[in-house]
Chains A and B, each alone.
Chain A
Amino acid sequence: MSTQTVAGRARWAPGSAARIGRRGRRVAVWLIFATLAASTIYPLFFLLSTALRTSEDYRRAPGGLPHELTFDNVQRAFSEMDIGRLALNSLLVVVPAVLLLTVLSCLAAYALVHFEFPLRRTTLAIVAALMALPPAAIVIPIFKAILDVNLLNNRLGLILAYAALQLPFSIFLLASFMRAVPGELLKAAMLDGAGPLRTLWSVVLPLVRPGLLTLMTLNFLFLWNEFLYSLVLLQREPERTMMVGIGQFQGHFDQSLGIVSAGLMMSMIPPLLIFFFFQRDLARGLTTGALK
Chain B
Amino acid sequence: MGSIQLREVTKAFPKSKAAAVDQISLEIADGEFLVLVGPSGCGKSTLLRMIAGIEDVSSGQILIDDADATNAPPKERDIAMVFQSYALYPQMTVAENLHFALKLRKVPKAERIERVDEVMRMLRLKELESRTPGQLSGGQRQRVAMGRAMVREPAAFLMDEPLSNLDAKLRIAMRSELARLHERLGVTTIYVTHDQTEAMTLGQRVAVLRDGRLQQVGTPQELFHEPRNLFVAAFIGSPTINLVEAEVRGGSLRFGGHAIPVPAHARLTDGATVVVGIRPSAFELAELADDAAPRLAVRLEVVENLGDELHAIFPVDAPRVDVEGAVDVEQAGDEQLLVDERALFTAALAPRRPLAPGDEVELAIDTSRLQFFDPESGLALAGSATGEHEIERKVHAG
Contacts and interface: CB of A to CB of B under 8 A. Distances in A.
A9 B54 contact: yes
A8 B56 contact: yes
Contact of B56 (A1, A2, A10): A10
A10 B41 contact: no
A276 interface: no
A279 B278 CA distance: 57
B274 to A, nearest CB: 35
Interface string B63-78: 0000000011110000
Given A12-B71, A12-B72, A1 B55 contact: no
Given A1-B40, A2-B45, A8 B13 contact: yes
B90 to A, nearest CB: 17
A4 B71 contact: no
A10 B55 CA distance: 5
A10 B54 CA distance: 6
Nearest to B160: A2
A4 B72 contact: no
Interface string B34-53: 00000011000110011001
A24 to B, nearest CB: 22
A9 B71 CA distance: 11
B46 A1 contact: yes
A10 to B, nearest CB: 4
Interface in B1-38: 13
Interface size class of B (residues with CB under 8 A): 10 to 19
Interface in A185-208: none
Contacts of B50: 10
Given A1-B46, A2-B45, A10 B40 contact: no
Contacts of B46: 1, 4
A10 B71 contact: yes
A273 interface: no
A4 B56 CA distance: 11
Contacts, number: 31
Contact of A9 (B40, B45, B55, B84): B55
A17 B40 CA distance: 42
Contacts of A1: 40-41, 45-46
Contacts of B73: 10, 12
B45 A8 contact: no
B71 A8 contact: no
A198 to B, nearest CB: 32
A10 B73 CA distance: 7
A22 to B, nearest CB: 15
A8 B54 CA distance: 9
A13 interface: yes
Nearest to A4: B55
Contacts of A11: 56
B193 to A, nearest CB: 12
A5 to B, nearest CB: 9
Interface in A1-50: 1-2, 4, 8-13
B56 A9 contact: yes
A8 B72 contact: no
Contacts of A12: 71-73
Contacts of B160: 2
Nearest to B40: A1
B53 A10 contact: yes
Contacts of A13: 71
A2 B49 contact: yes
Contacts of B56: 8-11
A8 B55 contact: yes
A261 to B, nearest CB: 43
Contacts of B13: 4, 8
Interface of B: 13, 40-41, 45-46, 49-50, 53-57, 71-74, 84, 160
Q: Pick the 9 closest A-B CB pairs, nearest first.
A: A10-B56, A12-B73, A1-B45, A10-B53, A13-B71, A2-B45, A9-B54, A10-B55, A9-B55
Given A8-B13, A10-B71, 14 more contacts: A1-B40, A1-B46, A2-B84, A4-B46, A9-B54, A9-B55, A9-B56, A10-B50, A10-B53, A10-B54, A11-B56, A12-B71, A12-B72, A13-B71
8 contacts: A1-B40, A1-B46, A2-B49, A2-B84, A4-B55, A9-B55, A10-B74, A12-B71
